[in-house]
Amino acid sequence: MSLYTTIATPNGLQIKQPLGLFINNKWVKTNQKIEVINPSTEQKIVSVYAAGEGEVDEAVEAANKAFKDPSWSGITGSERGDYLYKFYEIIKRDAEKIASIESLNNGKPYESECLAGDLVESYSVFKYYAGWADKITGQFIGSQVLGKDKICYIDPVPLGAVGGIVPWNFPFMMMAWKIAPALATGNTVVMKSSEITPLTALYYGQIALEAGLPKGVLNIISGYGKDAGVALSLHPKLAKIAFTGSTATGQKIMQSAGVSNLKKVTLECGGKSPFIIFDDCDMKAALEWAFAGIFYNKGEVCTSTSRFYVQDTIYDEFVKKFVEYTEKNAIVREPFDKDCTIGPLVSQLQYDKVKKYVDIGVKEGAKLVHGDFINGKGFFCKPFIFTDCTDDMIIMKEEIFGPVVAIAKFSGVDEVIERANNTTYGLAAALFSNNITKAHNVASRLQAGMVWINSNGDSDIHIPFGGEKMSGMGRELGSYALDTFTQQRAIHVNMTLPY
């Protein structure tokens, strides 16, 4: 099997696709392969090589060697920024190719979500951290604090070789969120993609080669979680694991970090985010943001506001209008169709999971007012809306990770805050109200890492992203991500020696 193939996408592109692992600036074959499926057709796209424990060890060794090599460790922050800026330029230039492969593999709408959303944010992240690379300056503490006999300086140094594991819902963008700040702070990196969506992750190997990145600084591996993922999280020569994925897997990664070498861990895990709609809201705007908040990327988003709390005075009106809005705007098509707003679910496994939860919702007595599974090829379904839900229902408590929303009613402010916070998760929350005092008060009391007032699902590269409780720990994006990839080294200087 060749280390490259050509993929023809439905929008007429012919794209050179890597198939091997990218280790030490070389493409590597293995004895194991992953079959990559097109969720629109259920047909194989290609097979890629999969890493086992041996290949993970090879990649980690390459990253550790590169971390000590002067071609990387000896360069300035400005020079690291130059490399990151090259990544920005290449990704921006090739955005259509990368977005096309992403849509083919993941099933999300090509133009509206992949090209206009994920790829723009991905290259923007590299540009942003290119600007940060020469501004990680540390701190000096002098005589005014310590007295005339001592000074100290705090040097923010890179951790070393770090690992990253990304999910299948935003394969290319999640890589960017981790690679860019890790390289900006001087680390070397081993990244593992999801076995479901490995294709665009491998494109980073081509980018690294074209950008001239020294060998071993960035390594990209495809592999199964039970093999490559476990080996990464247990590896004693990695200084950190940055993980995005399910809460259950995040717990296992924390355990692995503890029993191996106490490596640092940042986790961005699951969510069951509430969306609170007060009766003084702008109804038209609330409907638009409600739709985006749960059905963007087919609901396969950790921050999806999958449980709505609607004030009882407008409950019937909102439900009626939301169903009508969904019927009009949920255009379930093949993702390269220009009118598509909802593509297929990513895999048979995810399709079956959504079906299981829909059946549970019906059995629990929630009222299914919209949604259906579409017969034929591909993992397509119309989005599901459940009404008259109660907080004890499974569909109100567990993360479904699909286009399924459960709607309940509430009466008062204190009541809805308590109900919104009554969850093991704490990733995000949204609320709609034209009473700005009430909105700020409610936002400050919601137990979530991110709260949106009169919007939903917003993300910006300048703003920290992350959750509370079992939704994870640490933050990505903004200057906050730099702290998670550095350690503060305190250098104490004794000034009492004679001269």
Just give the CATH number of 274-471: 3.40.309.10
Decide: 166 and 194 in contact? Cβ < 8 Å.
Answer: yes
For residue range 257-276, list pLDDT tens digits in order.
999 999 999 999 999 999 99
pLDDT at 143 (0 to 100): 92
Active site amino acids: 268
- CA-CA distance, 166 to 177, in Å (whole number)? 10
Residue spans in the chain of domains classed CATH 3.40.309.10: 274-471
Long-range contacts of 415-422 (CB under 8 A, 24+ apart): 416/276, 416/309, 416/311, 416/442, 417/442, 417/445, 417/446, 419/274, 419/309, 419/391, 420/274, 420/276, 420/309, 420/446, 421/445, 421/446, 421/447, 422/391
Average pLDDT over residues 138-146: 95
Task: Name the DSSP class of 296.
Answer: G
pLDDT at 498 (0 to 100): 83
Decide: 216 and 63 in contact? Cβ < 8 Å.
Answer: yes
Q: Which residue has the tokens 């980690």?
A: 60
- CA-CA distance, 13 to 94, in Å (whole number)? 12
Helix runs in 304-347, H state only? 315-329
Which residue, among 221, 267, 176, has the nearest Cα to 61 in the 3D structure?
A: 221
Q: Distance of alpha carbon 138 from its chain centroid, rounded?
A: 29
Residue 67 main-chain phi, psi, to 5 deg: -60, -30
Helix (H, G, I), strand (E, B) or coil at 370: strand
- Upper half-sphere CA count for residue 91 (Cβ side, 13 Å): 31
Percent above pLDDT 70 for the chain = 100
pLDDT > 90? residue 474: yes
Tokens of 297: 């990327």
| Alpha carbon distances (Å) from 64 to 81, 158, 392 | 21, 12, 49
- CA-CA distance, 89 to 124, in Å (whole number)? 10
For residue range 332-383, list pLDDT tens digits in order.
999 999 999 999 999 999 999 999 999 999 999 999 999 999 999 999 999 9
Average pLDDT over residues 408-436: 98
Q: Distance of alpha carbon 48 from its chain centroid, rounded?
A: 22
Tokens of 180: 């860019």
For residue range 244-261, list pLDDT tens digits in order.
999 999 999 999 999 999
CB atoms within 10 A of CB 334: 18
For residue range 150-185, list pLDDT tens digits in order.
999 999 999 999 999 999 999 999 999 999 999 999
Percent above pLDDT 90 for the chain = 99
Decide: 22 and 221 in contact? Cβ < 8 Å.
Answer: yes
Residue 226: partners with Cβ closer than 8 Å, 6 or more residues away: none
Which residue, among 141, 142, 139, has the nearest Cα to 156 in the 3D structure?
A: 139
For residue range 40-56, list pLDDT tens digits in order.
999 999 999 999 999 99
pTM over cut 0.95: yes
Helix (H, G, I), strand (E, B) or coil at 24: coil
- CA-CA distance, 218 to 161, in Å (whole number)? 10
For residue range 5-51, list pLDDT tens digits in order.
999 999 999 999 999 999 999 999 999 999 999 999 999 999 999 99
Residue 418: partners with Cβ closer than 8 Å, 6 or more residues away: none
The DSSP-derived string for 50-70 is E--HHHHHHHHHHHHHHHHSH
pLDDT > 80? residue 109: yes
pLDDT at 497 (0 to 100): 87
Beta bridge partners of 191: 164, 220
- CA-CA distance, 216 to 205, in Å (whole number)? 11
pLDDT at 129 (0 to 100): 98
Just give the CATH number of 4-270: 3.40.605.10
pLDDT at 499 (0 to 100): 78
pLDDT > 90? residue 1: no
Residue spans in the chain of domains classed CATH 3.40.605.10: 4-270
Average pLDDT, the chain: 97
For residue range 293-329, list pLDDT tens digits in order.
999 999 999 999 999 999 999 999 999 999 999 999 9
